[in-house]
């Protein structure tokens, strides 16, 4: 059966960023528990990806399982237009307790990309409502990644992203270079000169500036100075531009701070969270904003925020997100992230000496080896199976964002597998 399954999958089922006829078959997963994924053929893999950075507590977690089971018995779903329910209201209340007090309004979205679309709409609608309708552009960082829907794509890196492929469809935005000063390096105010010039030249048409604070994730796994985020906040204030913090990858402790913004003591006007919001159980994201923005929109000629997905506020997703927040608030995550950080630092350091490695960096519970040439996915898959570790490098980046509950022994296996992969890249 598993062979038939893999064969059918390869020929008929589309996977993320893949051809309809992919050269490599996908590995068939039978179950997942703790930090391990069991394959159909009996092979077991330590999951160093936390299912694209979402499964913080591992799989098959009793508390999260129970939250879903209990909620199914009450209701799996009801529409959110004109109706509301306890799981959604509790989640919004809990979320607001964990973010800066200026955040007062929550829009529940189905995925990270949708949360970004909603953030962009909020920004445009706000500017329109306050008589700044000519502000119809967004500024973004090169090297950023914000999702795959059209609006989100328009603010992803213009070269590595999908701009060229969809150039007739994607709105044209303004880009500034990716921050060059690394996290922890000495700050130089001049690093913001070019951006100030961009604000001065374009502010009258700028509705918002979007960035992934401190950590640029899928666009390059790049960790940059906290002062940069502070500088952009100040420029946004000076020029009447809203700051959108896309924390879909970083929220809930991944960087060692609950929000990456907290590290810079910056409060954005609009904040997107997702991925780890449900502990990796169900798709859910949220766009949060201040009373100024929410009331600005509601006081305009079009007071309704124009978005409303069918599965908005899905009770199952909200219930498991609530359970996830309770688990996180039990307080273990700072120690877990700090422990992962030191194992990654120690384990990956050796790779700095490899001939084909151009950089090794660790931030929070994120470890990266950057190689001179792109990885060969066939080689990578073979190494994963051989080592019993699941990694999914892209381009020249071999990285891990493990579940917070991963123990030292497993983490050491992850770092040695990453090094083995790095050695294979020529």
Ligand X SMILES: Cc1ncc(COP(=O)(O)O)c(C=O)c1O
Residues labelled catalytic: 17, 145, 246, 275
Query: What's the CA gap between 3 and 8, in Å, rounded?
Result: 8
When the beta carbons of 311 and 354 are compared against ligand X, the nearer one is 311
Nearest to 248 by CA among 147, 103, 151: 147
Q: Which whole-number Å values give the CA distances from 52 to 119, 144, 246, 257, 424, in the listed order?
A: 22, 17, 16, 19, 23
DSSP label at residue 191: G
Q: Which is nearer to ligand X, 40 or 148 (CB)?
A: 148
What x-and-dash track marks residues 229-258 binding ligand X by CB under 6 A? -----------------x-xx---------
DSSP structural state of residue 363: E
Residue 114 Cβ vs ligand X, minimum distance, rounded to whole Å: 7
d(CA 421, CA 243): 38
Applying CB under 6 A, the site for ligand X has a residue count of 14
- Whose CA is closest to 265, among 30, 93, 100, 49? 100
Alpha carbons within 13 A on the beta-carbon side of 363: 22
Give me the sign of the Cα torsion angle 221, 223, 224, 227: positive
Which residues partner with 363 through β-bridges? 366
Q: Which residue is nearest to ligand X (CB)?
A: 112
Q: Are 24 and 47 in contact (CB under 8 A)?
A: no
Instruction: Decide whether 255 or 343 has the Cβ nearer to ligand X.
Output: 255
Within 10 angstroms of residue 81's Cβ, the number of other Cβ atoms is 10
- Residue 219 CB, nearest distance to ligand X (Å)? 8
DSSP tag of 378:
H
Nearer to ligand X, 320 or 383 (CB): 320
Nearer to ligand X, 111 or 125 (CB): 111
Closer to ligand X by CB, 274 or 313: give it: 274
Contact 60, 320 (CB under 8 A): no
**88, 316 Cβ separation under 8 angstroms:** no
CB of 412 to ligand X, least distance (A): 27
Least distance to ligand X from the beta carbon of 52, Å?
6
Alpha carbons 180 and 225: distance in angstroms, whole number: 8
Residue of 136, 152, 133 whose CA lies nearest to 144? 152
Residues of this chain, 76-135, that bind ligand X according to CB under 6 A: 111-113, 116
Q: Find the binding residues for ligand X in span 125-164 (CB under 6 A).
A: 145-147
- Judged by CB under 6 A, the chain residues 265 through 324 that form the site for ligand X are 274
Contact residues: ligand X, CB under 6 A: 111-113, 116, 145-147, 212, 217-218, 246, 248-249, 274
């Amino acid at each position: 059966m598993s062979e038939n399954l893999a064969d059918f999958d390869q020929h008929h089922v589309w996977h993320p960023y893949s051809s309809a006829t992919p050269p490599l078959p996908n590995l068939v997963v039978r179950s997942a528990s703790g930090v391990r994924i069991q394959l159909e053929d009996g092979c077991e893999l330590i999951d160093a990806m936390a299912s694209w950075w979402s499964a913080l507590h591992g799989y098959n977690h009793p508390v999260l399982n129970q939250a879903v089971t209990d909620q199914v018995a009450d209701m799996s779903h009801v529409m959110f237009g004109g109706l509301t329910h306890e799981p959604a209201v509790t989640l919004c209340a809990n979320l607001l307790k964990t973010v800066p007090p200026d955040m007062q309004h929550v829009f529940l979205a189905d995925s990270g990309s949708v949360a970004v679309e909603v953030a962009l709409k909020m920004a445009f609608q706000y500017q329109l409502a306050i008589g700044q309708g000519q502000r119809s552009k967004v500024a973004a960082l090169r090297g950023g990644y914000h999702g795959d829907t059209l609006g989100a794509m328009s603010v992803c890196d213009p070269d590595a992203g999908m701009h060229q492929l969809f150039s007739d469809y994607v709105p044209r935005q303004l880009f500034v270079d990716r921050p060059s000063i690394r996290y922890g390096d000495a700050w130089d105010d001049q690093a913001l000169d070019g951006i100030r010039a961009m604000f001065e030249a374009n502010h009258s048409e700028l509705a918002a500036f979007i960035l992934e604070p401190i950590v640029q994730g899928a666009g390059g796994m790049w960790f940059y100075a906290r002062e940069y985020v502070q500088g952009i906040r100040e420029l946004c204030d000076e020029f009447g531009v809203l700051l959108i913090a896309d924390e879909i990858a970083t929220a809930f402790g991944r960087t060692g701070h609950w929000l990456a913004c907290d590290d810079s003591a910056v409060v954005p006007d609009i904040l997107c969270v997702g991925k780890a919001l449900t502990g990796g159980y169900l798709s859910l994201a949220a766009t949060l904003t201040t009373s100024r923005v929410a009331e600005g929109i509601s006081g305009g000629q079009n007071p309704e925020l124009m978005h409303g997905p069918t599965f908005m506020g899905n009770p199952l997703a909200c219930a498991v997100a609530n359970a996830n927040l309770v688990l996180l608030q039990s307080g273990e995550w700072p120690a877990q992230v700090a422990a992962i950080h030191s194992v990654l630092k120690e384990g990956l350091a050796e790779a700095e000496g490899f001939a084909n490695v151009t950089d090794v960096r660790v931030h929070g519970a994120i470890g990266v080896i950057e190689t001179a040439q792109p990885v060969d996915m066939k080689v990578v898959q073979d190494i994963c199976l051989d080592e019993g570790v699941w990694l999914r490098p892209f381009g020249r980046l071999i990285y891990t964002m493990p579940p917070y509950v991963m123990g030292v022994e497993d983490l050491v296996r992850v770092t040695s597998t990453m090094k083995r992969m790095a050695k294979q890249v020529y």
